[in-house]
């Protein structure tokens, strides 16, 4: 029988004495350099660049964030638009490197960040399943073996030969979620991917996430503006607001505090 190929997206290991912690965010800050002046055209921009006249200012998207996530936990990140949630997920997934502090992750990661990343819109859905699977570290034989499961979960049997550019965002989300959860990754990262799926697919994904979390082996990191969904799925939550950590704790306490923002 074909042995299962594990995803290759691994990050440095946490020391053994900290065995139960799979994600350790330790005093993490993210500083982006953004242009401090506006240019009317690309030409003006390149002239300023060539003359070394570009001026940048620092923008702290995350400021001294600390939290730990345990194995088998479902952990949520909440915060208003532009608070730094996706930036935090990207640091955890290894897509971005923290400017300050350290982020240590134990295990394999299946990141569902930024829908469509890892897909080629010119290729068919079938070709994209192989492409995305390869990016997650799965061998072709492994995808062959699980191809039908992916198609069944996504419920897109009749659309496999259609180029992805003709898919709706919800259809792309179906394929992305089906591939990411084809096996049990150590850590499943779910950004706003689910929000574009219809309610039936969202329910199906929630059931799958619950199954994974109930297995006690899979850790789920969820970013969502759907607070009901966070309350249904997460054990603990971190609330980040304008790059600052406001609260980390049990879901009901953090979500109640976050919702009081609207009062």
Ligand X SMILES: Nc1ncnc2c1ncn2[C@@H]1O[C@H](COP(=O)(O)OP(=O)(O)OP(=O)(O)O)[C@@H](O)[C@H]1O
* Interacting residues toward ligand X by CB under 6 A: 32, 34, 59, 61, 79, 81-87
Instruction: Give the nearer residue to ligand X in terms of CB position, either 183 or 244.
Output: 244
For ligand X, which is the closer residue by CB, 86 or 219? 86
Question: Which of these, 120, 114, 118, 58, lies nearest to 90 by C-alpha position?
Answer: 114
Closest separation in Å from C-beta 124 to ligand X: 29
To ligand X, the closest distance from the beta carbon of 40 in angstroms equals: 20
From residue 16, give the alpha-carbon distance in Å to each of 19, 28, 103, 106: 5, 22, 16, 10
DSSP H or E segment with residue 234:
none
Nearer to ligand X, 46 or 59 (CB): 59
Contact partners, residue 224, CB within 8 Å, separation at least 6 = 76, 78, 190, 192, 194, 195, 230
Question: Toward ligand X, which CB reaches closer, 84 or 118?
Answer: 84
In the chain, the largest separation of any two C-alpha atoms, in whole Å, equals: 62
Work out how close the CB of 129 gets to ligand X at its nearest, in angstroms, rounded to a whole number.
Answer: 27
- Could you give the C-alpha distances from 157 to 145, 147, 164, 171, 206, in angstroms and in order? 16, 11, 14, 11, 21
CB-wise, 91 or 178, nearer to ligand X? 91
Q: What distance in Å separates the CA atoms of residue 30 and residue 16, rounded to the nearest whole number?
A: 27
CB of 225 to ligand X, least distance (A): 6
Residue 170 class from Cβ within 10 Å (0-12 exposed, 13-18 middle, 19+ buried)? middle
Q: Least distance in Å: CB of 156 to ligand X?
A: 26
Q: How far is the CB of 255 from ligand X (least distance, A)?
A: 16
Q: What is the DSSP letter of 161?
A: T
| Of residues 7 and 79, the one with the C-beta less far from ligand X | 79
């Amino acid at each position: 029988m074909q042995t299962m190929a594990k995803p290759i997206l691994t990050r440095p290991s946490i020391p053994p004495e900290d065995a139960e912690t799979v994600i350790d965010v330790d005093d993490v800050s993210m500083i982006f350099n953004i242009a401090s002046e506006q240019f009317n055209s690309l030409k003006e921009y390149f002239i300023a660049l060539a003359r070394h006249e570009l001026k940048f200012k620092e923008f702290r998207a995350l400021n001294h964030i600390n939290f730990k996530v345990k194995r088998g936990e479902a952990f949520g990140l909440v915060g208003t638009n532009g608070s730094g949630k996706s930036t935090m997920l990207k640091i955890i997934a290894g897509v971005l490197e923290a400017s300050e502090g350290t982020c240590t992750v134990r295990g394999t990661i299946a990141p569902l960040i930024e829908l469509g990343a890892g897909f080629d819109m010119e290729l068919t859905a079938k070709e994209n399943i192989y492409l995305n699977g390869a990016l997650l570290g799965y061998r072709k034989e492994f995808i062959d073996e699980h191809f039908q499961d992916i198609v069944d979960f996504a419920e897109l049997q009749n659309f496999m030969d259609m180029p992805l550019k003709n898919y709706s965002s919800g259809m792309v989300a179906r394929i992305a979620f089906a591939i990411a959860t084809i096996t049990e990754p150590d850590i499943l990262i779910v950004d706003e991917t689910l929000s574009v799926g219809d309610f039936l697919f969202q329910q199906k994904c929630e059931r799958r996430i619950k199954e994974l979390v109930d297995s006690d082996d899979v850790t789920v990191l969820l970013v969502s503006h759907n607070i009901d969904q966070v309350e249904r799925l997460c054990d603990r939550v971190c609330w980040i607001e304008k790059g600052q950590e406001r609260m980390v704790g049990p879901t009901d306490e953090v979500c109640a505090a976050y919702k009081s923002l609207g009062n």
